[in-house]
């Protein structure tokens, strides 16, 4: 039996596009003599559809697409994910399911049992968990088909009280197939390999696993579909961040032609780079946008975002706006111009001194003789926000936010100023990782000017300003932030690791009191195990740890 895994980039709610892509790969698989082709979780509608699932028409369009797909499944069978109605009145109205289609007809519906409801997942909001489990019978071979989380209830601290495979294995299947929508983080590929390998070993069955690829606003899927033998050895790994179709031959209860291999781990920073480029590219393509604008300061953050945007969209589609203030240094302006020259993007120079002075003069009667402080600094940042939004409105550019995760965490940014934008490109990348990204981007030649990398970070909103005036050194700050955000450690636990007590409590209070700012920032491309946004839900007025 020849089985193909189709690792594809879907578009949420774009039924015509998704259906055409699925049918096209069915036809490609037919040419290669494939017997069964497998598509990802919720492939028909895209993942995550979220509250689109509450519209009856959305579910009807899923079914209509499935019928179109079935018409092409003659001489070939397919497994494809989609939401289906629950005909029982009690419980949720839908199942997260997969259709097994053969000879042009629906032969079986496989329903997902384990519904993740943590981090970016919210499936129990919409779906009823399956309670009945039955293998697919195809060409005389029983296949245990599961959907993503159904194989993750294994090893230490299981989240669910039962596992579908414990029921399916009693029917003596010869092969496991798992269809998934497994979001990317820079450490998730290794975790996936371990979990799936342990399933193959536990049930003593070969396993074929198909993931999807592409970005859906902030959530990125990296592909990396996998094959394992019955001993749990990894025997094949499909490419990351690319669409692919791969055919496997299953015979004599094994996947033929493959030998055990090691997981081909990609360095974290390379994965982050590829994910961010894909995230920008898909955000624009799937939203119907083509041109980006950003403020380019001469600092490392905006330089990185500009370079990533040029790689995703082409430099001809990126407008960098230099907005020097009366406090901007000559070298910062030159650093920004050097980047523009290196990268070849469009640019404009629009000084903000005149606008900032006008606001200062306008507010002087109300401010009376109060001294210069953060207020005047933020007015400058908001002047810049007005400029880039004006460029966006006038020319149809989409504004890229350039704040990094360290800044987002502690609230080091100005609402309606440098925190505005349609998509946060590096809001899940710590400042120390930003420097690593710069070195990665420069690995084949200078793109990011050296001075942007080595100079002390500064917002340049007052004379001689440096980030270190307001923040701890980033090497220390980022380590404490990582322990609190990703590792979910308490202040006392972090202090016990040897960090200064006053510093830890100060940083954690900054994170918690900045929550109101993060509620008003753009969606952030998720590249870590715990990103700000839909995967980290904190109260604004909470007192704990503040």
Task: Provide the token pair at 324.
Answer: 């020097």
DSSP 117: -
Note the residue count of the chain: 546
Catalytic residue among 73, 78, 148, 420: 148
Catalytic residue among 21, 111, 112, 174: 112
Q: Which residues carry a binding-site annotation for L-glutamine?
A: 118, 182
Q: Which residues carry a binding-site annotation for deamido-NAD(+)?
A: 378, 407, 517
DSSP bridge partners of 236: 227
Spatial neighbors of 375 by CB under 8 A, at least 6 apart, are 367
Catalytic residue among 21, 41, 218, 460: 41
Torsion, CA 120, CA 121, CA 125, CA 131, rounded to 10: -170
* Nearest partner of 177 among 151, 204, 202, judged by Cα: 151
Rounded Cα gap, residues 340 and 273, in angstroms: 20
Rounded Cα gap, residues 9 and 212, in angstroms: 6
Can you give the C-alpha Rg of the chain in angstroms?
26
Q: Among positive and negative, which fits the CA dihedral 420, 424, 430, 435?
A: negative
Task: Provide the token pair at 85.
Answer: 């109605």
Rounded Cα gap, residues 96 and 48, in angstroms: 11
Q: Is 148 noted as a catalytic residue in this protein?
A: yes
Task: Provide the token pair at 474.
Answer: 């980033």
Q: Is 41 noted as a catalytic residue in this protein?
A: yes
* Nearest partner of 485 among 546, 405, 416, judged by Cα: 405
Q: Which residues carry a binding-site annotation?
A: 118, 182, 295-302, 378, 402, 407, 517
DSSP bridge partners of 228: 207, 234
460 in Cβ contact with 327 (< 8 Å): yes
Rounded Cα gap, residues 404 and 273, in angstroms: 14
For 373, other C-beta atoms within 10 Å of its C-beta total: 10
114 in Cβ contact with 123 (< 8 Å): no
Q: Which residues carry a binding-site annotation for ATP?
A: 295-302, 402
User: Which sequence positions are flagged as catalytic?
Assistant: 41, 112, 148
């Amino acid at each position: 039996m020849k089985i193909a895994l189709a690792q594809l980039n879907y578009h949420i709610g774009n039924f015509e596009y998704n259906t055409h892509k699925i049918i096209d790969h069915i036809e490609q698989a037919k040419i290669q003599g494939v017997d069964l082709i497998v598509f990802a979780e919720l492939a028909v509608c895209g993942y995550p559809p979220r509250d689109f699932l509450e519209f009856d028409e959305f579910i009807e369009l899923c079914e209509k697409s499935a019928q179109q797909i079935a018409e092409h499944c003659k001489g070939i069978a397919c497994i494809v994910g989609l939401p289906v109605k629950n005909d029982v009145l009690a419980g949720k109205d839908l199942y997260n399911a997969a259709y097994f289609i053969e000879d042009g007809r629906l032969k079986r519906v496989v329903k997902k049992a384990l519904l993740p409801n943590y981090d970016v997942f919210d499936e129990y909001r919409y779906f009823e968990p399956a309670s009945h489990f039955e293998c697919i019978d195809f060409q005389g071979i029983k296949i245990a088909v599961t959907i993503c989380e159904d194989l993750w209830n294994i090893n230490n601290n299981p989240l669910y009280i039962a596992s579908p495979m414990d029921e399916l294995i009693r029917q003596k299947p010869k092969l496991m197939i798992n269809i998934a929508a497994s979001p990317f983080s820079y450490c998730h590929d290794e975790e996936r390999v371990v979990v799936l390998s342990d399933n193959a070993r536990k049930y003593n069955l070969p396993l074929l696993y198909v993931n999807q690829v592409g970005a859906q606003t902030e959530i990125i899927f990296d592909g990396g579909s996998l094959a394992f033998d019955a001993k749990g050895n990894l025997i094949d790994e499909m490419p990351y961040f690319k669409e692919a179709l791969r055919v496997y031959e299953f015979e004599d209860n094994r996947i033929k032609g493959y030998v055990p291999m090691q997981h081909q781990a990609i360095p974290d920073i390379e994965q982050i780079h590829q994910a961010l480029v894909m995230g920008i590219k898909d955000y624009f393509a799937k939203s119907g946008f083509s041109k980006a604008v950003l403020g380019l300061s001469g600092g490392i953050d905006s330089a990185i975002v500009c370079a990533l945007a040029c790689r995703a969209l082409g430099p001809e589609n990126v407008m960098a706006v230099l907005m020097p203030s009366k406090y901007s240094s000559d070298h910062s302006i030159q650093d920004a111009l050097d980047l523009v020259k290196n990268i070849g993007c469009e640019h404009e120079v629009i000084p903000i001194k005149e606008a900032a002075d006008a606001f200062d003069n306008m507010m002087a009667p109300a401010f009376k003789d109060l001294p210069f402080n953060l207020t005047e600094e933020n007015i400058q940042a908001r002047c810049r926000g007005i400029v880039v939004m004006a460029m966006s409105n006038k020319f149809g550019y989409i504004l890229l936010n350039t704040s990094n995760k360290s800044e987002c965490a502690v609230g080091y940014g100005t609402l309606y100023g440098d925190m505005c934008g349609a998509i946060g490109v590096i809001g899940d990348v710590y400042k120390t990782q930003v420097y690593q990204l710069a070195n990665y981007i420069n690995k084949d030649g200078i793109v990011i000017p050296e001075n942007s990398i080595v100079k002390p970070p500064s917002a340049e909103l007052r004379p001689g300003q440096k980030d270190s005036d307001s923040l701890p050194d980033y090497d220390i700050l980022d380590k404490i932030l990582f322990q609190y955000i990703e590792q979910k450690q308490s202040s006392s636990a972090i202090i016990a690791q040897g960090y200064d007590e006053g510093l830890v409590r100060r940083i954690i209070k900054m994170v918690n009191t900045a929550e109101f700012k993060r509620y008003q920032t753009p969606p952030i491309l998720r590249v870590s195990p715990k990103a700000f946004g839909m995967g980290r839900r904190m109260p604004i007025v909470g007192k704990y740890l503040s």
